[in-house]
Amino acid sequence: MSGSQATTDGDLAQVLASEVDRRRNFAIISHPDAGKTTLTEKLLLYGGAIQQAGAVKARGEQRKVTSDWMELEKQRGISITSTVLQFDYDATTINLLDTPGHQDFSEDTYRTLAAADNAVMLEDAAKGLEPQTRKLFEVCRMRQIPIFTFINKMDRPGREPLTLLDEIESELGLTPWAVNWPIGSGEQFRGVIDRRSKEVVLFSRAERGKQASEQRLSLDDPALRELVEEDLLDLAVEEMEFLEAAGAELDIEMVHAGELTPVFFGSAMTNFGVRPFLDAFLEMAQRPIARSSSEGLVDPLREGFSGFVFKLQANMDPRHRDRVAFVRVCSGRFEKDMTVKHARTGKAIRLSRPQKLFGQDRAVVEDAYPGDVIGLNNPGMFSIGDTLYVGSKVEYEGIPCFSPEIFSWLRNPNPSAFKNFRKGVNELREEGAVQILYDTDESKRDPILAAVGQLQLEVVQHRLENEYGVETRLEPMGFQVARWISGGWADLEKVGRIFNCKTVRDAWNRPVLLFKNEWNLNQLREDHPDLELSSVAPVVSGVEPISL
């Protein structure tokens, strides 16, 4: 190797190390209505990515929310798709993976969490931990993702801060460490005390949608007593002393292991506490880390580019009817026009029009680094979980499908629209909008939609009509439980005839049993104890899915 070549390689390694070091990647998990979209907008506002934030459900002259772009989301004021928002704040590049807020879309959130290095758990101060938050917390725990907690809506009547901390500890088994502590709540919320610097941050309400102005004073500054009611300040200091006496310490290693959660108090709607949260989060959050693959752990500083597809989305731009594959960069440097290997098919692919995403807007991206998410044009070659790489082969762990609970035949009443119907069903299955099952009887061509929640089915119908021009009918099937047979068709044949369930095929031609209820499932287990059933679909590699 020549001297100049060695220098170049050294320079590249240095650039890669410094780019990885300044990246932070996270997803926000919460129950619907905890304020996730509002917090997302405010983080973008502080990052200078947008000039004015708009409340999601407000009507009239409000701005439309950057992260909620689908028509149905605008009608209902909910988040049902995941997008990626990349922006710079000071010297840091932030990739915010926006997850669906609606519980019917928890599987999409699960896939997004597969691409996240950190999670922000958003809680409503009045409601505390809610069902969807608990469910998503379990996913984070399974993946050992560090969790940062933001207790929102402190400007409204809520529960006692100490009670909220106690709930996190007793119900999630997660040690909370309050980074800041609120002075008052509801109408009397005056600001927060930073426990580490002993500084008080006072907030004054900002004009709607603009950044709040902050006033910082030392806790022993005499001027503080003139600005804040004495009883509110004394109570906050007393509670803080109680926390100090309790003895927990802020241990970053425990944060990164997912055992301790730094807790912040504020109000995203009025901008109270958003900037202090962002500053502390960027300081404590985990940088892009090594990820598990068939070849063991892959270091982000590995020379060759590698990444995996964690989401597919059709028709983000209605004018172009495009399909985008979202790829999380895991190692090396990604460059426009590079040729990569597709691990599942073994084909070489040139990535000519990579995009940087910001909600629905995109720009062509020249390069990207571990922790970043890029959008690739997808002419039907990518599936969720696919690995792309350069150099020695690497294949990341796939992303499993979860057991659906609602099953309906999807009927196409208009035979002349079959071509569009087929295209729509195949593309929506590909992006994971819903799971598609098929009858084992080849003569029954209608697909079966399998979903976690009813809203998923409504979205599929809405999109088929609006994006593909096809009206459809749903016919409920009366099943509530699905189980995959771990040993496939061979195990099913050994068992012979089975009762009180229906056998169908999934998109990867694997047998799935549908049951009316858990009782029927338990009956089958008793009759055939050797038949191994799973509520999570096995991860697929190297197999092409069935198309309608």
212-221 contacts: CB < 8 A, separation 24 or more? 212/270, 212/271, 212/272, 212/274, 212/275, 214/275, 214/276, 219/193
347 contacts: CB under 8 Å, gap ≥ 6: 341, 381
Judge contact between 25 and 327, C-beta under 8 A: no
Tokens of 250: 């802020």
Backbone angles phi, psi at 236, to 5 degrees: -60, -45
DSSP, collapsed to helix, strand or coil, labels residue 178 as strand
What is the reported pLDDT for 321?
52
Residue-wise over 311-324: b if at least 16 C-beta within 10 A, else e? bbbbbbeeeeebbb
DSSP letter for each residue of 235-301: HHHHHHHHHHHH-----HHHHHTTSEEEEEE-BTTTTBTHHHHHHHHHHHSPPS--EEETTEEE-TT
Mean pLDDT of 428-444: 83
Residue labelled with tokens 């009762």: 499
Examine the pLDDT at 401 and tell me if it is beyond 50. yes
Q: What is the pLDDT of residue 7?
A: 47
pLDDT surpasses 50 at 101: no
Buried b (16+ CB within 10 A) or exposed e, 163-174: ebbeebeeebeb
pTM for this prediction: 0.75
Average pLDDT, the chain: 81
* Residue pLDDT, tens place only, 220-247: 888 888 888 889 999 999 999 988 887 7
Q: What is the pLDDT of residues 336-388, one digit of tens each?
A: 889 999 998 889 998 877 665 554 455 667 889 999 988 888 777 788 888 99
Question: How do residues 308-337 score in pLDDT, each as one tens digit?
Answer: 988 877 655 455 456 778 899 999 999 988
Contact between 328 and 403 under an 8 Å Cβ cutoff? The reply is no
- Rounded (10°) angle between helices 161-172 and 131-143: 50
CA distances from residue 264 to 123, 177, 267, 358, 452 in whole angstroms, order as listed: 10, 9, 10, 26, 32
**One-letter amino acid for residue 114 of the chain:** A
Span 56-75, pLDDT tens digits:
333 333 344 444 434 434 44
Statement: residue 390 has pLDDT above 70: yes
Paired tokens of 269? 């709607």
Cα–Cα distances (Å) from 219 to 96, 196, 271, 438, in that order, read 33, 12, 22, 66
What percent of the chain is modeled with pLDDT above 70?
82
Q: Would the pLDDT of 12 be above 50?
A: yes
